[in-house]
Amino acid sequence: MSEKSGINVIRSIFELLVLLAALGVIFGGLALIVFFSPWSQTILGKLMAYDVRFAIELLSFLIIAAIIVLLSAMTVYSKNIVHSALYLLGTFAGVAALYIFLNAPFVGVAQILVYIGAVGVLILFAVMLTRKTIMEESHGEI
pLDDT of residue 49: 64
Average pLDDT over residues 63-86: 87
Q: pLDDT category, 63, cuts 50, 70, 90?
A: confident
Q: Is it the case that residue 106 has pLDDT exceeding 80?
A: yes
pLDDT band, residue 131 (cuts 50/70/90):
low
Q: Is the pTM of this model over 0.95?
A: no
pLDDT tens column, 11-36? 777 777 777 777 777 667 667 766 66
Spell out the long-range contacts of 13-18 with Cβ–Cβ below 8 A and sequence spacing 24 or more. 15/77, 16/73, 16/74, 16/77
Q: Please provide the average confidence, as pLDDT, over all residues in the chain.
A: 77
